[in-house]
């Protein structure tokens, strides 16, 4: 499941943030109000070869949540440290941003982060699919009392609405019989 619709991939954007020496951290912009950002890919590198302890954080409010374990790694323009691997993605909510930190700065080395993201609108209301509503409506009405489907649904543990008798009265999304 994605936070964006597949057609929104046509509008994938590239962002870049830099921190000049002697920066120990560099942060992305905060996600705008009523928007979601899905970070598809991101990587960090310094512009001079250095071995440092690097950490990726997701910042929400005043709290930083580690995204990757801190790693002491040799990096440079040709060796980059990724945020997302194996097709993973990061969802940032309104006001959140990501931060890359290092333990020390090498003289003259700036921090550079490139990231690819999809910006989606945060819906103000829930969309109801008409076809799904029809299916749910059929489940609420239940099957005819004496029908084979009604008896089978009740025997398989369907809820009370599906067989007219027995079953779990606790709701849910259907019993064992697809509609």
Distance CA 158, CA 53 (A): 55
Q: Which residues of 128-161 are buried (b: 16+ CB within 10 A; e: fewer)?
A: eeeeeeeeeeebeebbeeeeeebbbbbeeebbeb
Q: Give the strand pairing for 25-27 and 111-121.
A: unpaired
Kindly report the number of other CB atoms within 10 A of residue 31's CB atom.
20
- Average pLDDT score over residue span 165-170: 47
Q: What is the pLDDT of residues 129-166, one digit of tens each?
A: 777 777 766 666 655 555 555 555 555 665 554 444 44
Pairwise pLDDT comparison (131 vs 70), residue with the higher score: 70
Q: 6-121: what CATH class?
A: mainly beta
Q: Is the pTM above the cut of 0.75? A: no
Q: State the pLDDT at residue 8.
A: 76
Pairwise pLDDT comparison (83 vs 146), residue with the higher score: 83
**Domain spans, the chain:** 6-121, 130-163
Q: State the pLDDT at residue 24.
A: 93
Q: What is the pLDDT of residues 12-62, one digit of tens each?
A: 899 999 998 888 999 999 999 999 999 999 999 998 999 999 999 999 999
Q: State the pLDDT at residue 41.
A: 93
């Amino acid at each position: 499941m994605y936070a964006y619709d597949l057609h929104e991939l046509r509008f994938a954007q590239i962002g870049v943030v830099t921190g000049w020496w002697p920066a120990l951290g560099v942060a992305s912009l905060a996600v705008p109000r009523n928007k979601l950002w899905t970070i598809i890919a991101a990587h960090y590198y310094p512009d001079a070869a250095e071995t440092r302890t690097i950490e990726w954080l997701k910042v929400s409010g005043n709290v930083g949540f580690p995204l990757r374990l801190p790693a002491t790694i040799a990096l440079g323009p040709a060796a980059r440290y990724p945020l997302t691997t194996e097709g993973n993605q990061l969802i940032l909510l309104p006001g959140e941003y990501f931060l890359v930190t290092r333990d020390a700065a090498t003289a003259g080395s700036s921090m550079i982060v490139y990231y690819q993201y999809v910006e989606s609108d945060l819906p103000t209301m829930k969309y109801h699919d008409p076809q799904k509503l029809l299916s749910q409506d059929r489940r609420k009405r239940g099957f005819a009392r004496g029908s084979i489907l009604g008896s089978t649904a009740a025997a398989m543990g369907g809820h009370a609405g599906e067989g007219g008798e027995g079953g779990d009265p606790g709701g849910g999304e259907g019993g064992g019989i697809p509609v």
